[in-house]
Amino acid sequence: MEILKDYRVKPTPVKPKKKRIRHEWRNATEVAKYLHVSKSWVAQQIRKPENPLPTHPSFKDNAESIRRQFDLNEVDEWVLNRR
């Protein structure tokens, strides 16, 4: 068997896949259980002027919403940087 070399093969570029960040959204009660603390402690940490606990409003159009969601990845990072 003979390999044909008289034609050019155009290589197709391979794009690297984007690594998707998996957000694990939890509310304040679940975060308090996750960190083994009280809900009032979580509320205090949200309102701290320096290094507050990272939160996201549950409704994007209403940033002042009381109902907040927490990303467990960000909560873990916050706890590690706190100490």
pLDDT digits (tens, 9 = 90+) for 3-29: 767 777 777 888 888 877 777 788 888
Convert the pLDDT of each residue in 47-77 to its tens digit: 888 888 888 776 555 555 557 788 888 888 8
Mean local confidence (pLDDT), 26-47: 88
The predicted structure's pLDDT at residue 59? 59
Distances (CA, A) of 68 to 6, 20, 43, 46: 64, 23, 11, 10
Cβ neighbours of residue 33 closer than 8 Å, sequence gap 6 or more: none
* Residues 58/69, Cβ–Cβ less than 8 Å: yes
The predicted structure's pLDDT at residue 33? 92
| Token pair recorded at residue 23 | 């957000």
The domain segmentation of the chain, as residue ranges, is 25-82
